[in-house]
Amino acid sequence: MTKEHANWSPYDNNGGTCVAIAGADYCVVAADTRMSSGYNILTRDYSKITQLADKCAMASSGFQADVRALQKHLEARHLIYQHQHNKQMSTPAMAQLLSNTLYYKRFFPYYAFNVLGGLDGEGKGCVFTYDAVGSYERVGYSSQGSGSTLIMPFLDNQLKSPSPLLLPAKDAVTPLSESEALDLVKTCFASATERDIYTGDKLEIVVLNAKGTRREYMELRKD
Amino acid sequence: MMKIDFSGLEQNASLRGNPNELLSGLSTAPEFQIPNTNDFDGFQKESIQMVKPAKGTTTLAFIFKEGVMVAADSRASMGGYISSQSVKKIIEINPHMLGTMAGGAADCQFWHRNLGIKCRLHELANKRRISVTGASKLLANILYSYRGMGLSVGTMIAGWDEKGPGLYYVDSEGGRLKGTRFSVGSGSPYAYGVLDSGYHYDMSVEEAAELARRAIYHATFRDGASGGVVSVYHVGPNGWKKLSGDDVGELHYTYYPVEPTTIEQEMAEVSVS
């Protein structure tokens, strides 16, 4: 008697790509707004970026239902933190919280591929990149999602900095200015849209700096 | 019915009852949710495929006269894709103990951080630093209780305690071995070759560091899943110290410098006349 396996899976992949770049005094977090399921486009206007704290934003691709649940969980934990400590959570603290939250679902993972971007305690940009079960690393730039294999080599070419593991330790942030980094992000997505069917429609960019947070949008190919 | 040992996550009892699911993670440790399926193993196998934790690595550690030398590469791969070239595979558990990472990155990071917490609690409860034997046993027991659930951890715990330098190998199958020379990961056969042939107990710190560096370099040369930066740490009686971090690509040319060939020189002469 052969066992019948379930045809139903609790997961789906809604596609999409996220990118984050850290600068000396800013951080750029960007994601496309297309949400797909297989060959269907469910909507062209879905935001994958959420602002977790004043100086911290997270972009996630993968299964958007899990992403939404994860965002709600983190927002609630941040609210509790603010009530208990009377201040906003710092980005490195939020980074570890996200890692632990992901790992506590180690045996039933959140199908979410995240990048966390923000300003650290000194006002310098920082980006943290994650796998689906919570291993994380502070980096100068990162991309996740369906277009990441197209974008990462390009960012390595443009932004690659000496590894933080070298001795003496060097800074991972890019020397680019904020406007140059924005142009770079727009270029990345325009290129990824050409070659990845799950990336396109519109690009949402969140810029965090000392003055606060602002959002920008750019149209991408809709085919 | 499976019973999971949560002692790895236990903390002191909460001050007041917290029935709230969100708040329950604050005073007591959150629990691991388990999917409600008949086929737990199949589900885990599928979700591992989907999640594909980063693995493929070379790490090594050995004891010698001056203490323990620990070295590792820094590449993380997901299938054929290199997801990072700058992963910290040597984890600083506390100022006197190091752990190495091989297997699932998240598994190693999380459980090493958890081990650091338990070592600190041990210090506070017993007014003395925990031994390497004790720390490795704590980790091994936790991993054993999660045996068969798909954790992938191949780690070495290196430290210096009252008995001198200590080195243990601990893995997610529940194995725990005391030893003087270990290498873990897909590049370990290559590292062992260099390490075993060059090892003497009476090496100086510089010689041991160079041996460790070369062993990792040769493993990165031949193993596609290893690469990036070689980090070398030394654990002495006063704790650990990072000795070097060298990019493997540049290390190649210091070991095998490029020499101009005679043919090129001949061509240069012809064009002048």
Question: Is A11–B50 a contact, with Cβ atoms under 8 angstroms apart?
Answer: yes
Separation between Cα atoms, residue B216 and residue B198, nearest integer Å: 13
CA of B141, closest CA in chain A: separation in Å? 18
- Cis-peptide, bond into residue A168, ω within 30° of zero: yes
| pLDDT at position B18 | 45
Q: At what angle do helices A91-103 and A64-85 cross, to 10 degrees?
A: 130
- State pLDDT tens for residues A57-109: 999 999 999 999 999 999 999 999 999 999 999 999 999 999 999 999 999 99
User: Cβ distance B68 to B58 under 8 Å?
Assistant: no
Question: Is A165–B231 a contact, with Cβ atoms under 8 angstroms apart?
Answer: yes
Tell me the Ramachandran region of residue B108: left when phi exceeds 0, alpha when psi lies from -120 to 50, beta otherwise: alpha
Residue from B216, B212, B185, B188 nearest B198 by CA:
B212
| pLDDT at position B38 | 80
In this complex, the residue of B35, B81, B242 whose CB is nearest that of residue A108 is B35
Question: Is A149–B81 a contact, with Cβ atoms under 8 angstroms apart?
Answer: yes
Question: Is A108–B34 a contact, with Cβ atoms under 8 angstroms apart?
Answer: yes
Q: What is the average per-residue pLDDT within B69-90?
A: 90
Q: Which of A133-137, B81-85, B120-124, B190-194 has the lowest mean pLDDT?
A: B81-85
| pLDDT at position B79 | 79
Question: Is A139–B22 a contact, with Cβ atoms under 8 angstroms apart?
Answer: no
Separation between Cα atoms, residue B251 and residue B178, nearest integer Å: 32
3-class DSSP assignment, residue B177: strand
Residue-wise burial string across B179-191, b where 16 or more C-beta atoms lie within 10 A, e elsewhere: eeebbbbbbbebb
3-class DSSP assignment, residue A32: strand
Q: What is the 3-state secondary structure (H, E, C) of B106-167?
A: HHHHHHHHHHHHHHHHHHHHHCCCCCHHHHHHHHHHHHHHCCCCCCCEEEEEEEEECCEEEE
Q: Is A8 on the interface with B (CB under 8 A)?
A: no
Mutation pick from A81, A99, A106, A142 vs chain B, by most beta carbons of B within 10 Å, is A106
Higher pLDDT among residues B210 and B9, named by residue: B210
CA of A211, closest CA in chain B: separation in Å? 31
Whether the CA torsion B214, B218, B220, B225 is positive or negative: it is: negative
Count how many Cα atoms sit within 13 Å of the Cα of residue B148 in the half-sphere of its side chain.
Answer: 6
The residue of chain A nearest to residue B106, with distances taken between CA atoms, is A135
Separation between Cα atoms, residue B64 and residue B198, nearest integer Å: 12
CA A172 to chain centre: 17
One-letter amino acid at A140 equals: G
Q: What angle do CA A54, A56, A59 make, to 5 degrees?
A: 130
Separation between Cα atoms, residue B54 and residue B78, nearest integer Å: 5
In this complex, the residue of A107, A134, A167 whose CB is nearest that of residue B149 is A107
- Give A81's contacts in chain B (Cβ within 8 Å): none
CA of A198, closest CA in chain B: separation in Å? 18
pLDDT (tens place) for every residue of chain A, 223 residues total: 677 767 888 999 999 999 999 999 999 999 999 999 999 999 999 999 999 999 999 999 999 999 999 999 999 999 999 999 999 999 999 999 999 999 999 999 999 999 999 999 999 999 999 999 999 999 999 999 999 999 999 999 999 777 778 877 776 778 899 999 999 999 999 999 999 999 999 999 999 999 999 999 999 999 9
Please give the ipTM for the structure prediction.
0.90
Nearby residues of A153 by Cβ (< 8 Å), 6 or more positions away? none
